[in-house]
A and B are shown apart, each in its own frame.
Chain A
Amino acid sequence: MSTQVTTGLQVRKSVELTIDGKKVTAPEGSTLLDACRASGKEIPTLCFGDTITPKNACRVCMVELEGSRTLVPSCSRKVEAGMVVNTDTERTSHSRKLVLELLGSSVDLSLTKNVSKWNDNYDAKPLRFGAPSYHHGKRDEAVTGHHHQPDGETAETVHQPVKIDNALYVRDYSKCILCYQCVDACGEQWQNTFAITTAGRGFDARISTEFAVDLTDSACVYCGNCIQVCPTGALMFTSEYEMREAGTWREEEQTQTDTICPYCGVGCSLTLHVQDNTIVKVTSPSDHSVTHGNLCIKGRFGFQHVQNTKPE
């Protein structure tokens, strides 16, 4: 990863710190995660996305910082001169293993990248908390400060039915790790629409519209920027969802083609995901300096005309 040293006329200072016993330099204002990855360390991340301010909610990227009582989240902790950081200790391994187990035992991580590899690396066994329980499912009705007493026979999960309330995308919150990225993308960091929020508290905390109304009754403008940032497949194009359900989704056969959105003069970059000569979903490069992966409803979903098919 290259380090940008000058920004306009401002020279960014660099600081020196120690990572796993080696002195490294990192630009001021960068994070421990940046510094660790720049020096070749592999640190798992789940809730971290490259276009949203880190929420450091998942706690899988924790590293040990000398002088700190607790581990620190590398995704959001800024580098400081003289820091002594260890990325691979008994404590960091334990912490990563447990976070993987806690999430793996409560959330469907089947579409989350790298999880099975990390489970192997950290010897995480999500099933050791007991068989997952799928019976509640009514998470939108949870009463804050109250819960069912567990009997210890099963491990509670965030399982609930898939929300299908519009033609463009589905919300499968059984796959949600509560990274807050969709809320931030919908709200003040990108879209300023504020259609969704985190509701409830504790294990009952969930992503929701007001009173869990359907998206069609909410403020949603279907920009799909929440889908773009979702790291777990909880938010998904209806086209992808239906193909997965039908067993026809074959990601390895898909091609990705970058192009420019034809609708207006902004000229957002689109990445068309094509399977069997059909566009199956649209993303946008998150490293684009203008749009950062964001699109509007037209760029995100308005591709039917290309295929000369009519939406239902």
Chain B
Amino acid sequence: MDLKIASGSANTEERQAVDSLLGAPQETSHGAQRDEMGMRVSTGGESLRKLRHLLLPTLHSVNDRVGFISRGAINYISQRLDIAPAEIYGVATFYALFDTNERPARQVHVCIDLACRAASGCTEETLPEGAIASPCLGTCERAPSVLVIETGVTVRQEVLAPATKAQIADLVAGKSAPAEQPIAQAAPQTPDKSLVLLSRIGIADPLSIDDYISNNGFTALHKAFAIGAEQVIAEVTTSGLVGRGGAAFPTGRKWAAVASQPVKTRYLICNADESEPGTFKDRVLLEGDPFALVEAMTIAAFATGSQHGYIYLRGEYPRALMNLTNAIEVARNKNYLGDNILNSGFNFDITIFRGAGAYICGEETAIFNSIEGFRGEPRNKPPFPVEVGLFGKPTVVNNVETLLNVLPIINNSGEKYASWGSTGSKGKKLFCVSGAVNKPGVYEVTFGVTLRELINLAGGLKSDSTIQAVLLGGAAGGFVGPEDLDLELTLEAARAAGTTLGSGVVMVLDQNVNMFDQLQRIAAFFRDESCGQCVPCRVGTVRQQEALARLVKSNGTDSTAVDLQLLRDLGQVMRDASICGLGQTAHNAIDSALTRLKVFSA
């Protein structure tokens, strides 16, 4: 491509950051110094354009090193990857963790989302000077939460939760955060070997493959190789396992669809872009049991005939990134990944792909665009990912928890797994309990416990709390009231009650929580996170937020009924006509607050 590069060149740090990923430039046209002969042969073009999937990692590399993406950096990346500067700018400005304006090397991201503002009242307006407001950081069990990113030759990321206002001010001033709490603290049931999904949390060292192996690790993989790909899919189908990311699609059917594709190049993606406000179960698994994900992904790839796997990991999970990076490296060294895994003849490897602050990139087709180096906008379906997915090839996309459920299915049997749970919801489920309970955290239960039982499992309500509402399924889920505590937590019971389990969020809001404030935050969240592609979501989320602002101010007046009707109209068009699940669910929680909790009175 004939690039037109405007003024501005990368400084040494930026060049090093890019070169550390792409290698030194070989040609002057790609930014190399002219050699003494002053000659060059121009190659590149097609071969460079095949590297577009390195765009987001390269932007990360620059952002990690200097803290922002300058014009010079974009120009240099443009030469190195043969992508027009405008396009790189479009991608860089899509992600909230990047900035195209110069900013300090140290950024203090303070969560102002649902659980954290309920716990501490921390909002955009009350942030200390110099802190950056952040959507849910996925540490709701110890709200309120802060993520510090300090860029430099080695980027430093620290999580502090819970954080006091004084501590946040200290972090902004440059102090280091104390060491993060042990992973197992987020799963109060642990250590307990009888758990199915959390059996190794607090028991096996997440950095040690030997610990993993001595705690039942890689047994499912051996068994999978022994019984063969078709039988693996049969077991998963028999188990009745459905996706745990929120959409509850049958996993066995998805795998079978990919396995039957005529195209032989196939991909597996583990969706670890956990960003639904209130959700942190995947974080605990990724941090606490990373080898299990490696094993489960290898089995999924073997079953579906995929040669390469990606873990699309949200950018705000530093400990998960560290532990996963270690697990993949160690597993590769021990031949649990790579060529001819355990002499099975099966080749498979995993790449971690870091997200950069975009909730929408948890939408499966948005992941494809993000990995391919485009803006993370969802694609139109059909065609479905099982036919045309990543790089145009058949692709399986599974959530972290979904994949980890495959291990007990293969270790025992699909039939055994299906014996757990209710008629319509099979197996074990992780719930992320946060808010006004004594022991917030991730809880493993068999499908079928009631909301009341789960809250009791989480230590019960705090002594001075009474329940005002419980948010199920996150911002895209719905509120239920104190009268709904006997709701059975199964997919079918939730559906029948007009609500959803979504990603497993159970956020208990007591009498002290301002529901108007929670609703306005939900509206603000969807407005910020909409990709902007389709009109119902792009404009609808703004109009929804404006209508809520009016309702809060003039609740109970003549205009209330008008604005309530407006909200219902907006909800319907977003649900009916948005391209993807984000817009389709952007009104759900608000709708439940209007109809079930009746927070506004007309």
B48 within 8 A of A: no
* Residues 43-57 of A at the B interface (beta carbon under 8 Å): 55-57
The answer to whether B86 touches A144 (Cβ under 8 A) is no
Interface size class of B (residues with CB under 8 A): 35 or more
Closest residue to B359 on the A side, CB-wise? A145
A112 within 8 A of B: no
Closest residue to A141 on the B side, CB-wise? B101
The answer to whether B95 touches A129 (Cβ under 8 A) is no
The answer to whether B4 touches A219 (Cβ under 8 A) is yes
Interface-centre pick from B87, B99, B524, B550 (highest chain A CB count, 10 A): B87
Given A70-B575, A70-B584, A106-B539: A151 in contact with B549 (beta carbons within 8 A): yes
* Residues 423-474 of B at the A interface (beta carbon under 8 Å): none
Residues of A within 8 A of B375 (CB): 198
Complex CA–CA separation, A57 to B530 (angstroms): 13
The answer to whether A217 touches B573 (Cβ under 8 A) is no
Given A197-B90, A201-B358, A218-B6: A155 in contact with B546 (beta carbons within 8 A): yes
Interface-centre pick from B85, B530, B538, B541 (highest chain A CB count, 10 A): B538
A91 within 8 A of B: yes
The answer to whether B87 touches A194 (Cβ under 8 A) is yes
Contacting residue for B576 out of A57, A71, A193, A210, CB 8 A: A71
Contacting residue for A155 out of B87, B543, B548, CB 8 A: B543
Given A102-B540, A144-B94: A203 in contact with B84 (beta carbons within 8 A): no
CB distance from B70 to the nearest CB of A (A): 9
Closest residue to B360 on the A side, CB-wise? A201
Chain B at the A interface: mostly helix, strand, loop or mixed? helix
Mask: chain A, 47-89; 1 = CB below 8 Å from B; 0 = not: 0000000011111101000000011010010000000000000
Closest residue to A200 on the B side, CB-wise? B93
B124 within 8 A of A: yes
Mask: chain B, 566-602; 1 = CB below 8 Å from A; 0 = not: 1001101101111100001000000000000000000
Mask: chain B, 69-99; 1 = CB below 8 Å from A; 0 = not: 0010010000000011111111001111011
B532 within 8 A of A: yes
The answer to whether B535 touches A70 (Cβ under 8 A) is no
The answer to whether A129 touches B529 (Cβ under 8 A) is no
The answer to whether B532 touches A205 (Cβ under 8 A) is yes
A225 within 8 A of B: no
The answer to whether A145 touches B531 (Cβ under 8 A) is no
CB distance from A48 to the nearest CB of B (A): 13
The answer to whether B380 touches A73 (Cβ under 8 A) is yes
The answer to whether B528 touches A147 (Cβ under 8 A) is yes
Contacting residue for A210 out of B86, B548, B553, CB 8 A: B86
CB distance from A239 to the nearest CB of B (A): 26
The answer to whether A219 touches B3 (Cβ under 8 A) is yes
Residues of A within 8 A of B542 (CB): 106, 150, 156, 203
Complex CA–CA separation, A57 to B99 (angstroms): 26
The answer to whether B531 touches A213 (Cβ under 8 A) is no
* Residues 1-28 of B at the A interface (beta carbon under 8 Å): 1, 3-4, 6-7
Residues of A within 8 A of B579 (CB): 56-57, 59
* Residues 98-126 of A at the B interface (beta carbon under 8 Å): 98-99, 102-103, 105-106
Contacting residue for B531 out of A129, A147, A202, CB 8 A: A202
* Residues 96-139 of B at the A interface (beta carbon under 8 Å): 96, 98-100, 124, 133, 135
A38 within 8 A of B: no
The answer to whether B88 touches A210 (Cβ under 8 A) is yes
The answer to whether B86 touches A196 (Cβ under 8 A) is yes
* Residues 202-255 of A at the B interface (beta carbon under 8 Å): 202-205, 208-211, 213, 217-219
CB distance from A221 to the nearest CB of B (A): 9
Given A58-B534, A102-B540, A202-B532: A194 in contact with B1 (beta carbons within 8 A): yes
CB distance from B43 to the nearest CB of A (A): 19
CB distance from B559 to the nearest CB of A (A): 10
B220 within 8 A of A: no
The answer to whether A202 touches B100 (Cβ under 8 A) is no
CB distance from A301 to the nearest CB of B (A): 19
The answer to whether B527 touches A202 (Cβ under 8 A) is yes
The answer to whether A94 touches B569 (Cβ under 8 A) is yes
The answer to whether A99 touches B573 (Cβ under 8 A) is yes
The answer to whether B135 touches A178 (Cβ under 8 A) is no
Complex CA–CA separation, A187 to B375 (angstroms): 14
The answer to whether B1 touches A144 (Cβ under 8 A) is no
Closest residue to A213 on the B side, CB-wise? B6
* Residues 38-90 of B at the A interface (beta carbon under 8 Å): 71, 74, 83-90
Given A129-B543, A150-B542: A192 in contact with B1 (beta carbons within 8 A): yes
A262 within 8 A of B: no
B533 within 8 A of A: yes
Residues of B within 8 A of A210 (CB): 6, 71, 74, 84-86, 88-89
B399 within 8 A of A: no
Mask: chain B, 390-413; 1 = CB below 8 Å from A; 0 = not: 000000000000000000000000
CB distance from A123 to the nearest CB of B (A): 12
Complex CA–CA separation, A76 to B375 (angstroms): 20
Residues of A within 8 A of B528 (CB): 145-147, 201-202
Residues of A within 8 A of B288 (CB): none
Mask: chain A, 251-267; 1 = CB below 8 Å from B; 0 = not: 00000000000000000
Contacting residue for B539 out of A102, A145, A200, CB 8 A: A102
Name 19 interchain pairs, CB-CB below 8 A, sorted by A: A58-B534, A70-B578, A71-B577, A98-B536, A98-B572, A103-B539, A106-B539, A129-B546, A130-B546, A144-B93, A150-B545, A151-B549, A155-B543, A156-B546, A194-B84, A197-B84, A202-B538, A210-B84, A211-B74
8 closest A-B pairs (Cβ-Cβ)? A205-B532, A145-B96, A197-B90, A194-B84, A152-B549, A152-B550, A98-B573, A219-B4
Q: A55-B533, A150-B549, A218-B4 are in contact. List 19 more A-B contacts (CB 8 A).
A: A62-B576, A70-B578, A102-B536, A102-B543, A103-B535, A106-B539, A143-B99, A144-B98, A145-B96, A149-B524, A154-B546, A197-B84, A201-B93, A201-B94, A202-B531, A208-B90, A217-B7, A218-B86, A219-B84
